[in-house]
Structure 1
């Protein structure tokens, strides 16, 4: 299962984060993870998200693919990629 999103270069969340080299804030990416989880697994909550690894920054304007692995439910894994490059990976537990 995967979702896609893109953060506009003029989005308020990237303004000033960081001047002369804007990146999408990690808090915004984690909010996208939680929103995607809620959409994909309605009726369940993401009880914890651990082993979050920010591998490379997401830049404004990049198309991000968010993929879930729920093959070991209630354990879940999530990966955010830009093209074929992993930018964030994490594991969690649903309730």
Structure 2
């Protein structure tokens, strides 16, 4: 299994913070999934028009300005396992499959 790492800093002005939550901004899980899908397409070397999110777990909240490391593991069946780390701690993980 080949692993590829990507780094992404959550911009303090990210539009998702406007309603999630005003007094204590937290990155919505869908934003983390969006980044994981974006990086998965980079690993595959092509866009996938459809993705199946086989499994996802969120362990800790992510706030503005945090630097995240996305570790993606390409599997022989072209599925991709991912882990999202903030300061060395896992904040989310999952498994993606490109659609057919």
TM-score range, shorter chain: 0.7 to 0.9
- TM-score scaled to structure 2, two decimals? 0.83
The 5 A counterparts of 1:11-90 are 11-43=14-46, 45=48, 47-90=51-94
- TM-score scaled to structure 1, two decimals? 0.86
Please identify, of 69-78 and 79-88, the stretch whose mean Cα deviation from structure 2 is larger: 69-78
Tell me the number of residue pairs that the alignment of Structure 1 and Structure 2 aligns: 95
Distance in 1, Cα, partners of 2:97 & 2:14: 31
Which residue of the partner structure matches residue 7 of structure 1? Answer: 10
CA drift of 1:93 comes to 2.4
Which structure dedicates a bigger proportion of its chain to helix?
2
Give the 3 Å change call, closer, same or farther, for CA 43–54 of structure 1 in structure 2.
same
**Structure 2 unaligned blocks of 5 or more:** none
**Structure 1 unaligned blocks of 5 or more:** none
